Copies of this chain bind each other. A is one copy, B any other.
């Protein structure tokens, strides 16, 4: 009996080993990264051993009104709390590490966490703000991590944040390559290039499945190196006769570093504006990620002591976030004022869902204030580069790892589809390219079979202010209705005894029409409420029926009269 048959035979009689991979933020999503690697010995679910990779937040789409963040649904983990052996972090972006403060209290605060140095520092600082104290184990290349049945080799790669790692995860079901967000920047700034030789070397043992970032699959040309930007930013600062303002994603230490290097070269002092920038600059100094002495930095209140061409401001809020330093400057609410001769450099994407028009509004007002504004939409020259590799780099990773199957992650369907087409051109067959539904887990069996049979519960947990999970679909639906045409409130006082109205209904509106100018509409609403109340009342009064009748009639009337659909809310109070 050969091995293969024996294995198959075994599986039928005694369930075989399996490795399950689930995405708690959902497959086919860019943010909310939280992957579960679960080894299930002999098919015994209650004896499984779990490794978590990443623990990040999601960013709401623009129709998630009032929602600050989304966090992954961790019920699957909560039910398996005692079997979680460790958490592995790939890099320091919020969508990979920002959910720790929400998730750790639910699944256990003492789970060992392994993270790159910068990711650990960023996460620690956030956790401390949330009153949580967590120790991180620092990931380094060549330092194998052993977590239960998982033996993990970290591999240094490049992305838009330093200290980004891929992991080759050896399991009893073979090797899995976790290729989270990456690009293969061969001339990166201030850090070594991606360790392609190490990828090749480790992969010689055979890779069962490659999980690969696919977000850049829309692009066919090799991604642009971060170092090509440095020259551009240097030129912009060199040619400026006045003050320079630089803005980017606050966590982008390397971008700040480029602005700092060029500024120092031309004798400029650095003025960080805004909490998030000050925080990240301080952290980067402490970790020696940027070369910045105390004497290089000055407070904005002392800036007027320096001539304009000796000043570079690093400003938080490129995406027009409310209350950010840049928004305050633009609204004239900051001590620092932009004036003619200033140059403002947006070294960031112009296009971010939900914020684009805000960014352009900033650019317009800054232009009006007299500043020269440099942004991606305004120049042929590159002033921002993506952190995600194109199809070419994705194909390179496939070539280097030579995996049996592929599982594209970190992209939406359109990116997954492009990745799939590319992989097929490389010779992969449809059944080798795994495209699960968001809530399907992928189970790899000892005999090489793969199935999508396990469903992992998924409900988006929305964070709004201090509330976590108390904003659901009903609340969001109401916010959408309210946002479009406001609310019409009809208060009716009913005599409990007689079931008669005690007085005329009161009509109050907000966000519907300007009441002083729309009296006739309000008077008609009042009349309809009164009429429908009379028609629908009974003794004893059926409040639900009256409410529904009044609501329906007023919705119809308002729509007919105004073509608007405000929320109609009858408040019926017994007196």
Q: Is A137's beta carbon under 8 Å from chain B?
A: no
Which residues of B sit under 8 angstroms from A491, Cβ to Cβ? Answer: 491, 571, 573
Instruction: Tell me how many chains of this kind the complex includes.
Output: 2
Which residues of B sit under 8 angstroms from A510, Cβ to Cβ? Answer: 478, 482, 487, 567, 569
Which residues of B sit under 8 angstroms from A561, Cβ to Cβ? Answer: 466
Minimum distance in angstroms from A526 CB to a CB of chain B? 14
Which residues of B sit under 8 angstroms from A518, Cβ to Cβ? Answer: 467, 470
Q: Is A294's beta carbon under 8 Å from chain B?
A: no
Q: Are A414 and B360 in contact (CB under 8 A)?
A: yes
Q: Are A464 and B485 in contact (CB under 8 A)?
A: yes
Instruction: Provide the A490-530 mask, 1 if CB < 8 A to any CB of B, else 0.
Output: 01010000000011001010111110011000000000000
| Cβ-closest chain B residue relative to A465 | B563
Q: Is A11's beta carbon under 8 Å from chain B?
A: no
Instruction: Provide the A351-385 mask, 1 if CB < 8 A to any CB of B, else 0.
Output: 10110110011011101100011000110100000
Choose one: B61, B62, B464, B472; the contact of A564 (CB below 8 Å).
Answer: B464
Which residues of B sit under 8 angstroms from A562, Cβ to Cβ? Answer: 464-467
Known: A61-B357, A571-B571. 15 other contacts (CB 8 A): A66-B483, A364-B414, A368-B413, A372-B417, A467-B518, A467-B562, A478-B510, A479-B484, A480-B483, A483-B483, A487-B487, A487-B510, A489-B569, A502-B575, A508-B571
Q: Is A412's beta carbon under 8 Å from chain B?
A: yes
CB-CB under 8 A for A483 and B479, given A413-B368, A562-B465: yes
CB-CB under 8 A for A474 and B514, given A380-B220, A464-B564: yes
Minimum distance in angstroms from A440 CB to a CB of chain B? 13
Q: Are A511 and B478 in contact (CB under 8 A)?
A: yes
Q: Are A412 and B364 in contact (CB under 8 A)?
A: yes
Q: Are B66 and A471 in contact (CB under 8 A)?
A: no
Q: Are A484 and B569 in contact (CB under 8 A)?
A: no
The secondary-structure label for the interface of chain A is mixed
Choose one: B357, B416, B472; the contact of A62 (CB below 8 Å).
Answer: B357
Q: Are B575 and A493 in contact (CB under 8 A)?
A: yes
Which residues of B sit under 8 angstroms from A412, Cβ to Cβ? Answer: 360, 364
Q: Is A65's beta carbon under 8 Å from chain B?
A: yes
Choose one: B467, B482, B508; the contact of A511 (CB below 8 Å).
Answer: B482
Q: Is A486's beta carbon under 8 Å from chain B?
A: yes
Q: Are A66 and B564 in contact (CB under 8 A)?
A: yes
| Cβ-closest chain B residue relative to A558 | B465
Which residues of B sit under 8 angstroms from A356, Cβ to Cβ? Answer: 351, 353, 356
Which residues of B sit under 8 angstroms from A517, Cβ to Cβ? Answer: 470
Q: Are A373 and B508 in contact (CB under 8 A)?
A: no
| Cβ-closest chain B residue relative to A561 | B466
Which residues of B sit under 8 angstroms from A361, Cβ to Cβ? Answer: 61
Q: How many A residues, CB 8 Å from partner?
A: 75
Minimum distance in angstroms from A53 CB to a CB of chain B? 24
Choose one: B485, B493, B506; the contact of A66 (CB below 8 Å).
Answer: B485
7 residue pairs from A and B, CB less than 8 Å apart: A220-B380, A367-B417, A467-B563, A467-B564, A482-B482, A487-B487, A493-B573
Choose one: B28, B489, B503; the contact of A489 (CB below 8 Å).
Answer: B489
Q: Is A418's beta carbon under 8 Å from chain B?
A: yes
Which residues of B sit under 8 angstroms from A354, Cβ to Cβ? Answer: 62, 357
Q: Is A555's beta carbon under 8 Å from chain B?
A: no
Choose one: B351, B471, B502; the contact of A513 (CB below 8 Å).
Answer: B471
Choose one: B63, B378, B472, B511; the contact of A475 (CB below 8 Å).
Answer: B511
Q: Are A471 and B514 in contact (CB under 8 A)?
A: yes
Instruction: Provide the A513-550 mask, 1 if CB < 8 A to any CB of B, else 0.
Output: 11001100000000000000000000000000000000
Q: Is A218's beta carbon under 8 Å from chain B?
A: yes
Which residues of B sit under 8 angstroms from A380, Cβ to Cβ? Answer: 220-221
Q: Are B364 and A563 in contact (CB under 8 A)?
A: no
A503→B574 CA distance, assembly (Å): 10
| Cβ-closest chain B residue relative to A469 | B517
| Cβ-closest chain B residue relative to A63 | B357
| Cβ-closest chain B residue relative to A352 | B356
The 6 A-B residue pairs with the shortest CB-CB distance, nearest first, are: A465-B563, A483-B483, A353-B357, A482-B482, A478-B511, A66-B484
Q: Are B465 and A564 in contact (CB under 8 A)?
A: yes
| Cβ-closest chain B residue relative to A464 | B564
Minimum distance in angstroms from A564 CB to a CB of chain B? 4
| Cβ-closest chain B residue relative to A567 | B510
Choose one: B480, B483, B513, B573; the contact of A470 (CB below 8 Å).
Answer: B513
Which residues of B sit under 8 angstroms from A486, Cβ to Cβ? Answer: 66, 475, 478-479, 482
Minimum distance in angstroms from A422 CB to a CB of chain B? 12
A518→B482 CA distance, assembly (Å): 20
A249→B309 CA distance, assembly (Å): 47
| Cβ-closest chain B residue relative to A487 | B487
Minimum distance in angstroms from A471 CB to a CB of chain B? 7
CB-CB under 8 A for A363 and B414, given A466-B562, A506-B573, A562-B465: yes
CB-CB under 8 A for A413 and B506, given A380-B220, A471-B514: no
Which residues of B sit under 8 angstroms from A372, Cβ to Cβ? Answer: 417
Minimum distance in angstroms from A504 CB to a CB of chain B? 11
Which residues of B sit under 8 angstroms from A65, Cβ to Cβ? Answer: 483-484, 511
